[in-house]
């Protein structure tokens, strides 16, 4: 029995209509990346998934149907 629950393996898809911008938040000290989007109305970042490595970033871009150049990165 897992202690913290089952690890989610499928990626989440989101409709980016309405001005939502795809974004990645990176940790300065650990380099951990969290993929999500920025809501244009509130300016808040909404987390979707933890990105692990370059393959994870490519999968995140494919799941949102955006190119890696369109993804905003902030720290």
| Average pLDDT of the segment spanning 23-51 | 92
Give me the pLDDT at residue 18, please: 82
Q: Are 53 and 33 in contact (CB under 8 A)?
A: no
One-character DSSP codes across 13-75: -----SS-EEEEEE-TTT--EEEEEE-TTT--EEEEEEE-HHHHHHHHHHHHT--GGG-EEE-
Q: Please give the model's pTM, rounded to 2 decimal places.
A: 0.75
Average per-residue pLDDT for the chain? 84
pLDDT band for position 17 (cuts 50, 70, 90): confident
Give me the pLDDT at residue 31, please: 85
């Amino acid at each position: 029995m897992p202690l913290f629950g089952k690890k989610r393996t499928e990626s989440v898809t989101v409709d980016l209509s309405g001005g939502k911008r795809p974004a990645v938040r990176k940790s300065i000290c650990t380099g951990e990346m969290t993929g999500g989007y920025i809501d244009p109305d509130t300016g808040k970042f909404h987390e979707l998934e933890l990105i692990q490595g370059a393959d994870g970033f490519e999968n995140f871009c494919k799941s949102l149907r955006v190119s890696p150049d369109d993804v905003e990165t902030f720290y």
